[in-house]
Amino acid sequence: MARIAAIERKSKETHIKAKLNIDGRGDRCEIKTGIGFLDHMIELFAFHGLFDLELEVVKSDTQIDIHHTNEDIAIVLGKAFKQALGDKAGIRRYGCAGAPMEATAARAIIDICGRGYFKLNVEEDKLTNNGEKQEYSLSYLEHFMESFAHNTGMTLSVTLQNVSDDIHTNVEAVFKAVGLALDQATQVDPRREGIVPSTKGIID
């Protein structure tokens, strides 16, 4: 069965559409968020996760700032993964992957357990200050991944080591690591055919 999803979400702040194929190739993506930086990061995530993803922000309120759009994109992306995964029968459920970029290294650990939880492990002062005067920030990254994890129904732990002064480097390493780990976690293990990977028998 195809593991695909189509999501459309409209609020008074944003209107976002997404189409996802979990079993894709990663090179058939069209990401149009209106935020160039985020287009680049989501494309990297999809490419390295081998996901085919179309994402379009039809309407946004970026005249205020990117807060709502950043969050709502992550909500839609999370809902798309949740829908495409269905009852989660047969999946590996866990994933752990890392991606370095220059001195910086990001590691992502995932459990698609139905419980949305996100933790970014980074030095506190870096979280507060990194990217302060730039388009994006570690706080925006944290908010994005938190919304993504909650809406996918996964526990996501990200550790960022040797935080760079360049926000691009930090965020890129994280998006790649999350893509790689989510690819692992969503893969079907043939030994587990038809079995929901939980001793509870279900994953919400």
Sign of torsion, CA 30 36 39 40? positive
Least Å from the CB of residue 172 to Mn ion: 5
In the complex with Mn ion, the residue whose CB is nearer, 81 or 140, is 140
How many other CB atoms sit within 10 Å of the CB of residue 11?
12
Buried b / exposed e across 133-167, counting CB within 10 Å, b at 16+? eeebbbbbbbbbbbbbbbbbbbbbbbbbeebbeeb
Sign of torsion, CA 154 113 83 54? positive
Pick the piece of the chain touching Mn ion (CB under 5 A) from 133-141, 143-151, 171-179, 188-196: 171-179
With CB atoms as reference, the residue minimizing the distance to Mn ion is 172
Dist. CA 154–CA 118, nearest whole Å: 8
In the complex with Mn ion, the residue whose CB is nearer, 71 or 172, is 172
Per-residue mark of binding to Mn ion, 128-167 (x: CB under 5 A): ----------------------------------------
Least Å from the CB of residue 137 to Mn ion: 16
Pick the piece of the chain touching Mn ion (CB under 5 A) from 2-10, 47-55, 99-107, 169-177: 169-177
Residues binding Mn ion (CB under 5 A): 172
